[in-house]
């Protein structure tokens, strides 16, 4: 009996070790998304954003990888564009696409980010979202992060830089330029359920169910979602981009595939 008891103890120890080894191996070998976030030389402002935006978890959900041709739609200063540049690598290409208003609002920071050929596989373009200057089916993936709601926003200020757009045209262009089976990663500030697009104007938020339906109507098939950016404490009744909600909004993360 003592020998049998010892054998059981050894078996338990072996099972425990087998359970630990894979975890240790994973922790010792970060994936390309963790590597991108940990890449040396990222701007200090970007590093401060990481705790709020959880970029490795969000971009990992998309499956974007080495060698891909990717468009960062309304990339602003290029926070995600830089991370994507590390993920797609030297054989891949990232298009940092802004309209003139987004370039202006971001202080044309893209120039600093790309200065001295710092990110050689990233190309900035100032474009009209309703007429993307890209060939049909030329992209493997698109990311549209925290700006989809602005397709439904109308700036009534005199001499506004923000163009009035037809969202359906923009989504059709996004579908046209994406390869069949290509991936779209969508992130935006959550509005209250059932509000549709109404809060895009006053709160710079949009209803998740409306967003999903909108893209599904324009050639996209829903694949998956993540709760990594959820904030249950957000009542979704205040404007998204200024205090007290700046950096504290509930955000939905959706992944779609271009229908074949």
Q: Are 65 and 170 in a shared domain?
A: yes
- The confidence band for 196, taking pLDDT boundaries of 50, 70 and 90, is very high
pLDDT at 186 over 60: yes
User: Taking Cα atoms as reference points, which of 118, 88, 258 lies closest to residue 177?
Assistant: 258
Mean pLDDT of 6-21: 38
pTM equals: 0.88
Identify the pLDDT of residue 260: 86
Q: Are 11 and 68 in a shared domain?
A: no
- Counting the structural domains of the chain, the total is 2
Identify the pLDDT of residue 29: 53
Q: Are 20 and 74 in a shared domain?
A: no
Q: Are 42 and 10 in a shared domain?
A: no
Mean pLDDT of 157-178: 94
pLDDT at 22 over 50: no
Which residue segment(s) compose the domain that 24 sits in? 1-30
Identify the pLDDT of residue 21: 33
Q: Are 5 and 36 in a shared domain?
A: no
Q: Where residue 213 sits, what CATH number does that domain have?
A: 3.40.50.150
**How many residues make up the chain in this entry?**
260
Instruction: Indicate the DSSP class of residue 164.
Output: P
CB 71 within 8 A of CB 123: no
Q: 2 is written with which tokens?
A: 């003592």
Q: In this predicted model, what pLDDT tens digit does every residue of 71-122 receive, in sequence order?
A: 999 999 999 999 999 999 999 999 999 999 999 999 999 999 999 999 999 9
């Amino acid at each position: 009996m003592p020998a049998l008891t010892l054998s059981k103890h050894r078996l338990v120890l072996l099972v425990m070790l087998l359970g630990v080894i894979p975890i240790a191996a994973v922790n010792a070998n970060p994936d390309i998304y963790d590597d991108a976030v940990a890449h040396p030389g990222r701007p200090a402002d970007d590093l401060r954003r990481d705790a709020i935006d959880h970029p490795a978890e969000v971009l990992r959900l998309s499956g974007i990888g080495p060698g891909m041709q990717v468009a960062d739609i309304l990339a602003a200063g290029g926070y995600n564009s830089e991370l994507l540049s590390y993920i797609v690598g030297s054989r891949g290409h990232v298009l940092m696409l802004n309209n003139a208003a987004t370039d202006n609002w971001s202080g044309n920071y893209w120039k600093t980010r790309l200065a001295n050929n710092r990110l050689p596989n990233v190309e900035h373009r100032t474009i009209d979202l309703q007429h993307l200057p890209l060939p049909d089916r030329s992209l493997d993936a698109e990311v549209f992060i925290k700006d989809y709601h602005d397709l439904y926003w109308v700036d009534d200020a005199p001499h506004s830089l923000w163009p009035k757009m037809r969202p359906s045209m923009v989504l059709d262009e996004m579908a046209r330029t994406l390869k069949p089976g290509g991936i779209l990663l969508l992130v935006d500030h959550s509005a209250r359920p059932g509000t549709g697009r109404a809060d895009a104007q006053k709160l710079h938020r949009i209803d998740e169910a409306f967003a999903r339906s909108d893209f599904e109507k324009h050639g996209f098939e829903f694949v998956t979602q993540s709760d990594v950016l959820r904030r249950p404490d957000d009542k979704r009744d205040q404007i998204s981009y200024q205090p007290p909600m700046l950096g504290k909004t509930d955000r939905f993360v959706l992944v779609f595939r271009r229908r074949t």
